Structure 1
Amino acid sequence: MGKVFESLKNSLYGEISNVKAIENMPKDFNEEFLRLVTMVNFMLIEDNENFYGYFLLQMSREIKYDITSPTAVNFKLSKYVIYFNPYIFLNLTADQMKSTIKHEIYHILSFHLNRGRVLKAKYSNLAINMAMDIVVNQHLKDLPHFATTLDSINFKYSLKMQTYMTMEYYADKIQMALNLLEEKDESQEDDSKDEHIEKQYDASKTHDLWEESTEMDEDTLKNFTEKFATLAEKGEVPLYLEDILKSLAGNKGEIPWNMYLRKMMGTLEGDKKKTITRRSRRQPNRLDLRGELRGHTARITLAIDISGSISDEEFHGAIKEVFNIVKTYKHEITLLECDTEIRQSYKVKSINNIRKRSITGGGTKFTPVFDYVNNTNTNILIYFTDGKGEVNLGVTPKGYKTLWVISGRGDKLSLKEPFGIVKKLKAVEIIEDTGERLDIMVDGFSGNNHEPIY
């Protein structure tokens, strides 16, 4: 599909590059452009995060030349509609096209545009639009060069906004910066703008189209959105969307920490090596194509708070579950005992290698563990603690995913920014494989659904 896609994209852009009025658009352009969008939809379905592809399948699609972004959305007649400005959209790569579609769907699921309406009494359109986009774009890759990102806005306005905060937090910080600069919420005149045609991105207008949505109450809109999301969940859901979807469904139940660990194990990206013993999954009838095996090792660090917050029963039950989850993966496990510092660290190959825990009655500091792990090749850090430690980490985690497991005695994590998923340590059912099965060690793990976890 790659060559056909690129040829069609370049041909379509060539057809309209010098057209200055909508009525002069080439015959059949709309039909061919929407065919290109369908090709992008198929790419999304083949993507690791194909939840977005199945969500897009349910959306109506229209061309709209006067929007100032490659895509925009609103809700019309019981359907979400996604609009495309070909002048901006056709300038993107295939990956950037996928990213901008994911961007719009993320806004829908987060109800950003409804929440933005509430903020309009206090903040400008520019501040609100930037805030919404910062929240979404922190979870996406392959962004267009003009995309509004946390780093670009921090740099532009000399701010120090933190990562993974709420839309309301960012809107407040940005508005204060705009007020200091006395920057007006008005887009500059663009020489490339022709009648009813926009050719350049303008952050102050990116979500204006939402105002044209069909009027309905919030509960009804939520129900429609839940139906769209439920049908899309036959695809692979990115981990960073799971809490949003759970909230959308009104499910207050916690996903157990061990289930999250299983999901995390499946999301780590593995190395690939060619093999003649397996056929290509995409083209199984092509005997000349070699299949692939994954040769990656899951490197897990278990940090155990030994300040007296976790009982021996909780500790051994949790460790047993970790080994049960990783046993079908090629893995390396390092165990750290820590309180205000790391007391000991060692490799463990089975539950029988676990040493007797050190005895301590001191406090807890999280920073020493992250400082240690930053200098290793760890994929996943699992931190068992009662949650009582610093308010801010002294270092920033680098290149690994973090799962905090709060003991039954703990309440919540003291950190303002956990840099990972926080789960409660509850009793979990440990399922042993007692039936007949192919006892095969998975030499690595799937690269499907690889996405950051926050």
Structure 2
Amino acid sequence: METYFEKQTKYLYDKTNEIINTYSILKANHAGERFEIDIPRDFKEEFFHLVDKVNLSLMEEKDNFYGYFLFQTSREIKFDISNPTAINFRGAKYVIYFNPIIFLNLNMKQMESSIKHEILHIVSMHLVRAKEVKDKYSKLAINMAMDIVVNKYLNNLVPYATTLEQVNLNYSLNLEPYETFEYYVEKIQIELDLQEEDEHGKEHDSNKNEDIETQYSPEKTHDIWEDSNDIDEKMLKEFTEKFINSSQKGEIPDYLEGIISSLKNSRGELPWNLYLKKLMGTVESNKKKTITRRNRRQPNRLDLRGELRGHKAEIAVALDISGSISDEEFKQAIKEVLNIVKNYNHEITIIECDNEIRRAYKVKSINDIKDRINIRGGTKFTPVFEYANNKKINLLVYFTDGKGEDKLQVIPRGYKILWVISGNGDKLSLKEPYGAIKKLSKVEIKDYTSDMSDIRNDGYSMNNQQPVL
């Protein structure tokens, strides 16, 4: 026997079709004219009354965080989103949008999961993280990577939801579970670039004249984020924390507690090793020409060769041997560097330097690290940058106590720079560092922006446990 909720859902679905049919007739009779979809007030009231029932169900659950979070958001109906729900930040508030055509095809539990999905994007700061990589990766790769991350924690997903298992199957990948958004987007993009440009690999431009979406589309599922208010990461984080604080009325799942703890404790700044992970995602290499695929921009030009991303990363790791960084401290840091870059085609050069370069050598594993030369001269940063300027370096990581010149004698050219100040150091003496400055300190991994799979915060074995996002 149908429940009242199921009857109401079907009734609203029929009303939705009436609204769409009326709009379609009007548009057909007035070709070329622009019309807004007329959504009757009584339909809105009835639809959001049903959403209230879903909200109440979420608030009655053990993990009622999602229900209290939803309670604080504004709600709107939007027929041109290709998902049951979508989230956005507008007018200094979060707005959750519903496409009745898709949403009303779900059962109660699937509706709950769709709402949880949007809230997990918020607390994972995906609105910011997606924007940071949009110029490097395709929209499809970014959308799938974000959805893999949040859907891994949800039950009662719709059959078409983007999941780890689905992506692994459809793209012949072997992606690991509970990895970071940055890990997934990198792996997915490589595979998309390797594939022929079929329907799954193409970039589809959104049709700006399309007012109605009737089915899920992974390419367009987060298009609405482009309309978010232009707000800096710090302000958005502070606003999100207020929502979170007002939503914590009871117990929350461990995974959600970890994400929230990371957000609150990050102070808007990643530890050095997580920042390095982020930098690696921005290191571009020369693209390799191939005859096995067509040119992306001119697919009908069979005489043009396509391109594959080489992702050859040339990394220089400079060590200030005159400073206060211990051998053990440096070796542990190098282990983390090697772990971060292991998924890239890379070469690492260790540069030992005080007031001049004493030695430079290649390493592939921790076993290649040599004992430091026992020379303790003064400190000058310039020799390392002179060296890097004459090599094809993509990234320079400089470990130092920070005490040296106040101005470089050369300007760094064509590579990114990360300064890592030792635990005993105070600050960098340079007035213009030309890169980010981070402290070398032990990272407490409750951070869901990392994928450091060898560090846990729950005391359990790493086997079959979820690492940080």
TM-score under structure 2 length normalisation: 0.52
> What CA distance in whole angstroms lies between the structure 1 residues aligned with 2:37 and 2:133?
38
1:191-220 superposed Cα distances (whole Å, 9 cap, x missing partner): xx9951110100111111111111111111
Counterpart position of 2:249: 234
1:113-155 superposed Cα distances (whole Å, 9 cap, x missing partner): 2101111121100000000000000000000111000000000
1:329-382 superposed Cα distances (whole Å, 9 cap, x missing partner): xxxxxxxxxxxxxxxxxxxxxxxxxxxxxxxxxxxxxxxxxxxxxxxxxxxxxx
> What CA distance in whole angstroms lies between the structure 1 residues aligned with 2:156 and 2:228?
29
Equivalent position to 2:212, from 197, 205, 220: 197
Determine what percentage of the aligned residue pairs are the same residue: 51
The question of 1:186 aligning with 2:200 is answered no
Counterpart position of 1:177: 191
Q: Give the drift of 1:228.
A: 0.2
Cα separation, partners in 2 of 1:17 and 1:194, compared to 1, 3 Å:
farther
Counterpart position of 1:53: 67
> What CA distance in whole angstroms lies between the structure 2 residues aligned with 1:198 and 1:174?
25
> What CA distance in whole angstroms lies between the structure 1 residues aligned with 2:71 and 2:123?
15
Counterpart position of 1:17: 17
Equivalent position to 2:86, from 64, 68, 72: 72
| SS of residue paired to 1:148 | coil
Counterpart position of 2:340: none
> What CA distance in whole angstroms lies between the structure 1 residues aligned with 2:104 and 2:190?
35
Counterpart position of 1:225: 240
Cα separation, partners in 2 of 1:221 and 1:62, compared to 1, 3 Å:
same
Counterpart position of 1:161: 175
Cα separation, partners in 2 of 1:221 and 1:188, compared to 1, 3 Å:
closer
Counterpart position of 1:100: 114
Counterpart position of 2:227: 212
The question of 1:4 aligning with 2:19 is answered no
Equivalent position to 2:160, from 140, 146, 150: 146
Q: 2:177·2:466 contact (CA, 8 Å) conserved in 1?
A: no
- After TM superposition, list the pairs within 5 Å mapping 1:300-311 onto structure 2: none
Counterpart position of 2:101: 87
1:281-303 superposed Cα distances (whole Å, 9 cap, x missing partner): xxxxxxxxxxxxxxxxxxxxxxx
RMSD: 2.9
Q: Which runs of 4+ in 1 moved over 4 A?
A: 24-27, 187-190, 415-421
Q: Give the drift of 1:26.
A: 5.2
- After TM superposition, list the pairs within 5 Å mapping 1:254-293 onto structure 2: none
Q: Give the drift of 1:189.
A: 9.9
Deviates more, 1:113-122 or 1:222-231: 113-122
The question of 1:43 aligning with 2:57 is answered yes
The unaligned stretches of length 5 or more in structure 2 are: 24-35, 268-443, 446-450
> What CA distance in whole angstroms lies between the structure 2 residues aligned with 1:66 and 1:194?
10
> What CA distance in whole angstroms lies between the structure 1 residues aligned with 2:202 and 2:57?
37
| SS of residue paired to 1:28 | helix
Counterpart position of 2:149: 135
> What CA distance in whole angstroms lies between the structure 2 residues aligned with 1:224 and 1:423?
32
1:137-187 superposed Cα distances (whole Å, 9 cap, x missing partner): 000000011100000000000000001000011001111111111334434
Q: 2:138·2:203 contact (CA, 8 Å) conserved in 1?
A: no
The unaligned stretches of length 5 or more in structure 1 are: 253-410, 425-451
| SS of residue paired to 1:129 | helix
> What CA distance in whole angstroms lies between the structure 1 residues aligned with 2:149 and 2:41?
39
TM-score under structure 1 length normalisation: 0.54
Cα separation, partners in 2 of 1:121 and 1:251, compared to 1, 3 Å:
closer
Q: Which has the higher contact order (CA 8 A, sep 6+)?
A: 1
| SS of residue paired to 1:231 | helix
Cα separation, partners in 2 of 1:16 and 1:242, compared to 1, 3 Å:
same
> What CA distance in whole angstroms lies between the structure 1 residues aligned with 2:139 and 2:210?
23
> What CA distance in whole angstroms lies between the structure 2 residues aligned with 1:56 and 1:236?
17
Cα separation, partners in 2 of 1:42 and 1:197, compared to 1, 3 Å:
same
> What CA distance in whole angstroms lies between the structure 1 residues aligned with 2:96 and 2:40?
22
> What CA distance in whole angstroms lies between the structure 2 residues aligned with 1:79 and 1:188?
28
